[in-house]
Amino acid sequence: MNLSLAQGDAVSRLVAIVLLAMSVASWVVIFWKSWLLHRATADVARSSAAFWQSSSMEDALQKLQTFDREALLLPLLQATGEQAAGTLASAGERSQQLTRGLRDALHLVLRKLQFGQVLLATVGSTAPFVGLLGTVWGIHHALTGMASVGQITIEQVAGPVGEALIMTAAGLAVAIPAVLAYNVLGRRVSRIEAELEGFARDLRDLLLSRTGPGSP
């Protein structure tokens, strides 16, 4: 590959650099998200169990500060606090305030869990085309070299043709792990999301049962 790139022009080198950057970025996201979701799965299960075994909301908050290392359930619990008087957020019934607060907190938490998914999807969908660009340009480079000399030898076209074939394989090598990771990590995010949504519903029902749905 080094030989073919050494014989290539600026466009070929640029394509190779772009593919390398895509590969590094996707693998960084894959390793980071795998670690994050592993911790998140354990934290949600442990924190949810600790919450329901607590004797009061204050006790539950203290336990979640210890168990919820990725701060996935804590924002939901903190969003149930009373809104400042005299604001639109405090207007309406208590059930409406809880729904709005929990919804906003849940969106923030899910945004954290879904971070990096767009990058993986982008790399998975565009890397093959970037590699194809390198392939097409390599073939063009080879044909131009053949037309500019009177006598054609295998050495004159072997480098550009080899470069073209390598770019195709490189594009697929970058895209395939990104697509697989997007699907696998996406399923894990969906499972955690379902658990968080269930916890938010149960938390809302608990607080409404204690205060009444029409409480100000």
| Residue 40 CB coordination number (10 Å) | 25
Beta carbons of 174 and 123 less than 8 angstroms apart: yes
Convert the pLDDT of each residue in 36-90 to its tens digit: 999 999 999 999 999 999 888 888 888 888 888 888 998 888 888 765 555 665 6
DSSP 83: P
- Structure confidence at residue 9 (pLDDT): 72
Q: How confident is the model at residue 151 (pLDDT cuts 50, 70, 90)?
A: low
Q: How confident is the model at residue 11 (pLDDT cuts 50, 70, 90)?
A: confident
DSSP 84: P
- Report the candidate in 206, 215, 180 with the shortest Cα–Cα distance to residue 57: 206
CA distance 102 to 79: 6
Convert the pLDDT of each residue in 69-80 to its tens digit: 888 998 888 888
The answer to pTM > 0.85 is: no
- Structure confidence at residue 173 (pLDDT): 94
CA atoms within 13 A on the CB side of 144: 9
Q: Name the CA radius of gyration of the chain, rounded.
A: 27
- Name the percent of the chain lying above pLDDT 70: 78
> Which range among 4-8, 88-92, 133-137, 169-173 has the greatest average pLDDT?
169-173
Structure tokens at 103: 């919804």
CA distance 167 to 164: 5
| Residue 146 CB coordination number (10 Å) | 13
Structure tokens at 126: 């565009």
Q: Which of 121-135, 137-151, 194-208 has the lowest mean pLDDT?
A: 137-151
Longest dimension (CA), the chain: 91
In this prediction, residues 121-136 reach a mean pLDDT of 92
Residue 133 has pLDDT above 70, yes or no: yes
Alpha carbon distance, N-terminus to C-terminus of the chain: 70
- Structure confidence at residue 177 (pLDDT): 96
Residue 183 has pLDDT above 70, yes or no: yes
Q: How confident is the model at residue 3 (pLDDT cuts 50, 70, 90)?
A: very low
- Structure confidence at residue 12 (pLDDT): 79
CA distance 99 to 201: 9
